[in-house]
Amino acid sequence: MWNYLGLWLSLLIMTIPSLCFAQVKQGDRYIIARETSGKFFEGHRVLTHYRSGYKFVQFCGQPYFVRPQTVVWSKQANVKGFRVNLEINSQDGWVVLCKSPEEQVTLKQVGIHQSLADAAKGPSPKQGIVNRFETIRNTFNDRSPLHGLGGLLGDEKTTKKP
């Protein structure tokens, strides 16, 4: 019994780190903010293929997909004095693919139509509640047969009474 417990504990200890921390793999690309000394500060992943929630951009003439929040973050990091580069994880460590990617894309290109300061704050709690109630109201008000609850419940005007 103790052998099984020891085996189970060793498997658990080996598994927990991989569940808790995202592992950076060779070939992964990140926009990385570094202190002027070169010390790593923070990074955001960049993809070479489409994924839901990511927007198409070009850095140094190459196509990439980023989250809109990544663009906001990279622009803020630049304003705060960090060096921002697009880097790839290689066998020899991190290699710069593109310098100053935050200067090569606008907030509007990733669907953000507000100032950097406002975008950095994120949506206010009030905006979230208003949008949620508006979505719920629109769902109930939609009477088309293909969409909304009106289609499921039937329209009072067209439903025949027995």
- Terminal CA-CA length for the chain: 71
Using an 8 Å Cβ cutoff, are 106 and 114 in contact? no
Rg (CA), the chain: 24
Q: Distance (Å, rounded) from C-alpha 107 to C-alpha 116?
A: 8
pLDDT digits (tens, 9 = 90+) for 94-112: 999 999 999 999 999 999 9
Q: Which of 31-35, 79-83, 133-137 has the lowest mean pLDDT?
A: 133-137
Predicted TM-score (pTM) of the model is 0.63
pLDDT recorded at residue 134: 67
Q: Which of 53-57, 58-62, 120-124 has the lowest mean pLDDT?
A: 120-124
pLDDT digits (tens, 9 = 90+) for 98-157: 999 999 999 999 999 999 999 888 765 555 555 666 666 666 665 555 544 444 444 444
CB-count exposure of residue 104 (10 Å: 0-12, 13-18, 19+): middle
- Sequence spans of domains, the chain: 25-112
Question: How long is the chain?
Answer: 162
